[in-house]
Amino acid sequence: MCVERPDGAFDIYTGRFIQFHQIDNSRRKIVEISDPDLVGMTYSIPMVFNGGKFSGQGVTCLSLPAVTLIKVTFPSRTYQEGQEQITMSSPDQALFSEDVRKNCAGTCVLTGVRGRQRTEAAHIKPRHAGGEPDVTNGILLRSDIHTLFDNWHFSIDPDSMKARFSPDVLSVDKDLLQLEGKQIDFSRLQMPINIEHLRHHWNKFFNRHVNPFIKNALNKKINNYEKRPVNSNIHY
C-alpha cells in the first residue's frame, strides 16, 4: 500500500489485508491492513497491472496529515564523563609496521589488498602477552580483518594455514564466507613468521569459538543417543 506524504512522495507499506472501506460518493476504497511495515519510498505510482493491462484500481492511496508521519524516537540517555587513564605508548610501533609491510610485500596476506590506507601491521602474539615487536611476530592485514584478528574473531590454523572466522561474524557479514577456509601462502615472505606465536593466537581463537561449538555438537549427539528407544527383543 502507498501512503502519500506532504512532500509529494509515497511511503510503501506491507501488511495483512483486513478489508476494504467504501468512500462516500467515490468509486475508490480505503484498504485496511494490520501489522503495517514500512518497506520503502517512491515518487511514482505504477498504473499498469495484471500482465500489462491498464488499471486504476491496483493502487489505493491515502492522504495523511503530517502529524501522522512515522518518526524515529531515541531513548533518553545520560552521558557521563570518562575517567583519566594512563596508557603505555609503543615508540617502536612505526618501525614494526614498516618492517611487517616490507616483509609482506605491502599486501594483506588474506585479501591481497595493497593500499596503505586499508592495511595495518598486526601483532600475531599481543605485546601484553609477551609478543615482541619483531617482524616474525607480525602480518599485514586489511584494517577490518586486523580488528577481527585482535579480538579473536579471525585466526589462522597453524597446521593447515587456512583462514578461519568465528561463527558470530560469519552469520552477520556474508562477504567473509568467501574468505573462510582460504589457504594463506606465507612462502613469499622474506622472513618466516613465528609459528609458535601463530599457534598461541589460534589456541585462543579455538577455545573461544571452535571448541564450544564442538562440545555443543558432541553433547547433542550424546543426548540423541541416550534418547534412542530400547529394543525389548534383545536377549542376553
Write down the domain spans for the chain.
2-67, 93-223
Q: Which is higher by pLDDT, 67 or 97?
A: 97
User: Cell numbers at residue 83, please?
Assistant: 575517567
Using DSSP bridges, classify how beta strands 61-63 and 2-4 pair: parallel, antiparallel or unpaired: parallel
Mean pLDDT for the chain overall: 77
At 46 the pLDDT is 57
The structure's pTM equals: 0.56
Tens digit of each residue's pLDDT (9 = 90 or more) over 160-187:
999 999 989 998 999 999 999 999 988 8
Q: What is the phi-psi region of residue 105: left when phi exceeds 0, alpha when psi lies from -120 to 50, beta otherwise?
A: left
**Quick one: three-class SS letters along 195-224?**
HHHHHHHHHHHHHHHHHHHHHHHHHHHHHH
- Candidates 159, 141, 161, 162; CA nearest to 151 is 141
Residue 26: CB atoms within 10 Å: 8
- Residue pair 36/14 in contact (Cβ under 8 Å)? The answer is yes
- Candidates 1, 68, 67; CA nearest to 29 is 1
Tens digit of each residue's pLDDT (9 = 90 or more) over 38-61:
776 676 665 544 444 444 554 544
